[in-house]
Amino acid sequence: MGLWLLDSEGPSLQRLTGHADWNDRNATVSPDGTLIAFDADRRGGEYAGGFNLDIFLLTLETAEVWRLETPSGRAWQPTFSPDGRQIYFHHQSERYAPTTLQPIAVGGGGADVMHDGLALTATDVGIPAAGQGSFLRADSGGARPLFRLDRSGRAIPLVGADATINGVSFSANGRQMAYVEEDETCLAEIFTARSDGSRVRQLARFNDELLGQRELQSLERFTFTNEEDMAADGFLLRPLGFREGQRFLGAVTRRSVSNWISEAGTQEYPPESMTAQFGGTIWPTSTTTGVARR
């Protein structure tokens, strides 16, 4: 998989990169439109189970490609700073190591750890042009809220503490943001808020009629010790009308709730299909529910 340039006035396609031995992915264009940053494993391990990924830059004027000197391991998903002088990227030093966020100068030099990834696993980072700092979405307790990073790298929760936040965008002055929020009781809707997380306002109510015809309830979170003697989050969704002492059918999966919901989409899986799809065990009792654990 390579990179291509589309001429919107043509339209015509110009091939920029491409090789049978690797894939160039996660391309992003610099604010001034002169550079493209992307990640790839060009060291021969792409199809051999290799762990490596590097960050590359391509200049559109000459098609020259060069690799940034990121720390050893896996560096991916580059994002330009608003002034185009730095690139923020995700990094893992080895398999199962925490995913850190690190900035590096476009001209080269050392990378610094701005977020250590010990408490949260960041999925992406955003930097408003007006200098409000760095924002990130991260997996946290079965949800994917939006956080702001302070200068010490501490993640401060802003919106979506028990929900999934997507499609975040900021106003030109960086004081306002718009985003999509959803959880197990509310389908995706559009919200706005100040960039400090205050004055949250729901703009759209596309799903009110549908939700009014359904009985939905929130997941219950609990903590347990896994096989490696580590604390892990578990989630319980009780059946409607559940009463204490009532027996019911449970399904245990090895996947996290966020993966189960996103991969299952809007389909409803009976326990037999769910465990066949995601792995796990069925306890034969009388009523249907699901327990997911990770």
The domain 4-208 having CATH identifier 2.120.10.30: the answer here is: yes
At 150 the pLDDT is 83
Rounded CA gap, 267 and 44, in Å? 39
Taking the whole predicted model, whether its pTM rises above 0.75 is answered as: no
| H/E segment holding residue 37 | strand 35-40
pLDDT digits (tens, 9 = 90+) for 125-138: 888 876 677 888 98
Structure confidence at residue 120 as a pLDDT band (50, 70, 90): confident
- Where do the domains of the chain lie? 4-208, 220-293
pLDDT digits (tens, 9 = 90+) for 122-172: 888 888 876 677 888 988 878 899 999 887 778 899 999 889 999 999 998
19 backbone φψ class: left, alpha, beta (φ>0; ψ -120 to 50): beta
Mean pLDDT across 250-266: 43
Question: Residue 205 is which amino acid?
Answer: R
294 exposure class (CB count in 10 Å sphere: 0-12, 13-18, 19+)? middle
Percent of the chain surpassing pLDDT 90: 30
Please enumerate in sequence order all residues whose Cβ is within 8 A of that of 264, keeping only pairs 6 or more positions apart, or say none: 274, 277
